[in-house]
Amino acid sequence: MVDSLNVRVSRRHRLHKKCMELARVFGIGYILDEKGPKGQLAQAAPDEGIPTIDPELGGCHGWDQNSIQKGITGVENVLKYYGFIDGEPEIPEKQIVVRHFHEIRNNRGGFIKFRAKLYDLLEYRQPVADICDVFGKSIEIIIAPKKGVLWSKNLYPMVPSGSRIGSIGFDLSYI
Protein backbone atom coordinates (compact mmCIF):
# COMPACT_ATOMS: atom_id res chain seq x y z
CA MET A 1 0.00 0.00 0.00
CA VAL A 2 1.19 3.46 -0.83
CA ASP A 3 1.41 5.92 2.05
CA SER A 4 -1.12 8.46 0.82
CA LEU A 5 -3.77 11.00 1.73
CA ASN A 6 -7.44 10.86 0.88
CA VAL A 7 -9.60 13.88 0.11
CA ARG A 8 -13.07 12.39 0.43
CA VAL A 9 -15.38 15.23 -0.61
CA SER A 10 -16.76 15.90 -4.08
CA ARG A 11 -14.79 18.28 -6.28
CA ARG A 12 -17.95 20.44 -6.23
CA HIS A 13 -17.94 20.67 -2.39
CA ARG A 14 -17.43 24.20 -1.06
CA LEU A 15 -14.35 23.08 0.95
CA HIS A 16 -12.78 20.84 -1.69
CA LYS A 17 -9.99 23.33 -2.49
CA LYS A 18 -9.20 23.77 1.22
CA CYS A 19 -9.09 19.99 1.71
CA MET A 20 -6.76 19.65 -1.29
CA GLU A 21 -4.52 22.39 0.09
CA LEU A 22 -4.38 20.59 3.44
CA ALA A 23 -3.42 17.36 1.63
CA ARG A 24 -0.73 19.19 -0.36
CA VAL A 25 0.70 20.75 2.79
CA PHE A 26 0.75 17.43 4.68
CA GLY A 27 3.17 16.48 1.95
CA ILE A 28 3.16 12.70 1.52
CA GLY A 29 3.25 13.06 -2.26
CA TYR A 30 0.30 10.82 -3.21
CA ILE A 31 -3.29 12.03 -2.92
CA LEU A 32 -6.56 10.24 -3.68
CA ASP A 33 -9.19 12.80 -4.68
CA GLU A 34 -12.36 10.73 -4.62
CA LYS A 35 -15.59 11.22 -2.70
CA GLY A 36 -15.80 8.76 0.16
CA PRO A 37 -18.69 6.87 1.72
CA LYS A 38 -21.18 8.71 3.91
CA GLY A 39 -20.21 8.83 7.56
CA GLN A 40 -16.48 8.85 6.92
CA LEU A 41 -14.82 11.65 8.93
CA ALA A 42 -13.00 13.05 5.89
CA GLN A 43 -16.37 13.46 4.18
CA ALA A 44 -18.53 14.49 7.17
CA ALA A 45 -16.25 17.13 8.77
CA PRO A 46 -16.12 19.39 5.66
CA ASP A 47 -19.94 19.42 5.70
CA GLU A 48 -19.56 21.08 9.11
CA GLY A 49 -17.05 23.62 7.75
CA ILE A 50 -13.85 21.80 8.80
CA PRO A 51 -11.35 20.99 6.02
CA THR A 52 -10.28 17.38 6.61
CA ILE A 53 -8.00 14.77 5.09
CA ASP A 54 -7.61 11.05 5.70
CA PRO A 55 -3.95 9.92 5.88
CA GLU A 56 -3.38 6.27 4.95
CA LEU A 57 -0.08 5.29 6.52
CA GLY A 58 1.36 1.80 6.66
CA GLY A 59 -1.55 0.04 5.02
CA CYS A 60 -3.61 -2.64 6.70
CA HIS A 61 -0.55 -4.52 7.95
CA GLY A 62 0.48 -1.96 10.55
CA TRP A 63 2.79 0.97 10.70
CA ASP A 64 6.50 0.87 10.15
CA GLN A 65 9.14 3.45 11.08
CA ASN A 66 8.99 5.04 7.63
CA SER A 67 5.20 5.54 7.63
CA ILE A 68 5.27 6.84 11.22
CA GLN A 69 7.90 9.42 10.26
CA LYS A 70 5.79 10.51 7.28
CA GLY A 71 2.87 11.09 9.66
CA ILE A 72 4.99 13.10 12.09
CA THR A 73 6.45 15.21 9.28
CA GLY A 74 2.96 15.73 7.83
CA VAL A 75 1.52 16.99 11.11
CA GLU A 76 4.53 19.26 11.60
CA ASN A 77 4.10 20.58 8.05
CA VAL A 78 0.48 21.50 8.74
CA LEU A 79 1.33 23.17 12.05
CA LYS A 80 4.14 25.19 10.43
CA TYR A 81 2.16 26.14 7.32
CA TYR A 82 -0.77 27.49 9.35
CA GLY A 83 1.51 29.31 11.82
CA PHE A 84 0.91 27.17 14.94
CA ILE A 85 4.63 26.46 15.31
CA ASP A 86 7.76 28.09 13.89
CA GLY A 87 9.60 26.78 10.88
CA GLU A 88 9.14 26.08 7.20
CA PRO A 89 7.14 23.02 6.10
CA GLU A 90 8.86 20.35 3.96
CA ILE A 91 6.40 20.15 1.07
CA PRO A 92 7.33 18.19 -2.08
CA GLU A 93 7.44 20.36 -5.20
CA LYS A 94 5.30 17.91 -7.16
CA GLN A 95 2.66 15.54 -5.80
CA ILE A 96 0.56 12.99 -7.69
CA VAL A 97 -3.22 13.15 -7.44
CA VAL A 98 -5.34 10.20 -8.59
CA ARG A 99 -9.10 10.16 -8.96
CA HIS A 100 -9.81 6.48 -9.54
CA PHE A 101 -8.40 2.98 -9.08
CA HIS A 102 -8.32 -0.10 -11.24
CA GLU A 103 -7.61 -3.49 -9.70
CA ILE A 104 -4.87 -5.71 -11.05
CA ARG A 105 -5.78 -9.41 -10.93
CA ASN A 106 -4.02 -12.63 -11.87
CA ASN A 107 -5.47 -15.61 -13.71
CA ARG A 108 -3.05 -18.23 -12.43
CA GLY A 109 -2.06 -19.05 -8.86
CA GLY A 110 1.58 -19.07 -7.80
CA PHE A 111 4.35 -16.86 -6.49
CA ILE A 112 4.40 -13.14 -7.33
CA LYS A 113 7.56 -11.54 -8.62
CA PHE A 114 6.89 -7.83 -9.11
CA ARG A 115 8.64 -6.02 -11.94
CA ALA A 116 7.27 -2.63 -10.86
CA LYS A 117 7.71 -0.88 -7.53
CA LEU A 118 5.15 1.14 -5.60
CA TYR A 119 4.85 4.67 -6.99
CA ASP A 120 6.14 3.62 -10.44
CA LEU A 121 4.36 5.33 -13.32
CA LEU A 122 3.08 2.59 -15.61
CA GLU A 123 2.17 2.64 -19.27
CA TYR A 124 -0.84 0.73 -20.59
CA ARG A 125 0.09 -2.96 -21.04
CA GLN A 126 3.46 -2.53 -19.30
CA PRO A 127 4.51 -5.71 -17.44
CA VAL A 128 3.86 -5.25 -13.71
CA ALA A 129 4.55 -8.71 -12.28
CA ASP A 130 5.10 -12.36 -13.08
CA ILE A 131 3.22 -15.23 -11.52
CA CYS A 132 5.75 -18.02 -11.16
CA ASP A 133 5.53 -21.72 -10.44
CA VAL A 134 7.38 -23.35 -7.51
CA PHE A 135 10.55 -23.51 -9.61
CA GLY A 136 10.52 -19.77 -10.37
CA LYS A 137 9.39 -20.14 -13.99
CA SER A 138 6.98 -17.45 -15.16
CA ILE A 139 3.57 -18.92 -15.93
CA GLU A 140 1.73 -15.60 -16.35
CA ILE A 141 2.83 -12.05 -17.05
CA ILE A 142 0.58 -9.48 -15.40
CA ILE A 143 0.27 -6.29 -17.46
CA ALA A 144 -1.01 -2.86 -16.51
CA PRO A 145 -4.70 -2.67 -17.49
CA LYS A 146 -4.46 1.14 -17.63
CA LYS A 147 -1.89 3.91 -17.66
CA GLY A 148 -1.31 5.18 -14.13
CA VAL A 149 0.70 4.81 -10.94
CA LEU A 150 1.19 1.53 -9.07
CA TRP A 151 -0.79 2.46 -5.96
CA SER A 152 -0.84 -0.81 -4.06
CA LYS A 153 0.57 -4.29 -4.34
CA ASN A 154 0.10 -7.59 -2.58
CA LEU A 155 2.56 -8.06 0.27
CA TYR A 156 2.38 -11.84 0.35
CA PRO A 157 4.61 -13.92 -1.93
CA MET A 158 1.90 -16.41 -2.92
CA VAL A 159 -1.54 -15.88 -4.47
CA PRO A 160 -4.41 -18.09 -5.60
CA SER A 161 -5.85 -17.55 -9.07
CA GLY A 162 -8.19 -14.58 -9.44
CA SER A 163 -6.58 -12.57 -6.63
CA ARG A 164 -6.34 -8.82 -6.41
CA ILE A 165 -2.56 -8.42 -6.54
CA GLY A 166 -2.54 -4.62 -6.63
CA SER A 167 -4.15 -1.49 -7.96
CA ILE A 168 -3.33 1.29 -10.37
CA GLY A 169 -4.32 4.86 -9.61
CA PHE A 170 -5.38 6.66 -12.78
CA ASP A 171 -6.86 9.91 -14.00
CA LEU A 172 -3.63 11.55 -12.77
CA SER A 173 -2.84 15.17 -12.16
CA TYR A 174 -0.12 16.95 -10.23
CA ILE A 175 -0.16 19.67 -7.61
- The CATH number for 101-169, chosen from 1.10.3720.10, 1.25.40.10, 3.30.980.20, 2.40.50.100, is 2.40.50.100
Relative to beta strand 96-98, strand 54-56 is unpaired
Listed by start position, the domains of the chain span 4-96, 101-169
Amino acid at residue number 129: A
Looking at mean pLDDT, say which of 15-19, 38-42, 63-67 comes out highest: 15-19
pLDDT at residue 79, rounded to an integer: 98
Provide the pLDDT for residue 158: 95
Q: What is the largest CA-CA distance in the chain?
A: 58
Closest C-alpha to 50, from 85, 82, 18, 6 = 18
Contacts 24+ apart (CB under 8 A), 121-129: 121/148, 121/149, 122/147, 122/148, 122/149, 122/150, 122/168, 123/147, 128/104, 128/166, 129/104, 129/153, 129/165, 129/166
Q: What are the Cα distances from residue 104, in Å, to 47, 64, 125?
A: 34, 25, 11
CA dihedral of residues 55, 21, 84, 93 (deg, nearest 10)? 90
Residue 149 half-sphere exposure toward CB, CA atoms < 13 A: 21
Q: Tell me the pLDDT band of 1, cut-offs 50, 70 and 90.
A: low
Nearest to 130 by CA among 141, 119, 117: 141
Instruction: Report how far residue 160's alpha carbon sits from residue 107's, in angstroms, rounded to the nearest whole number.
Output: 9
Per residue in 16-35, pLDDT tens? 999 999 999 999 999 999 99
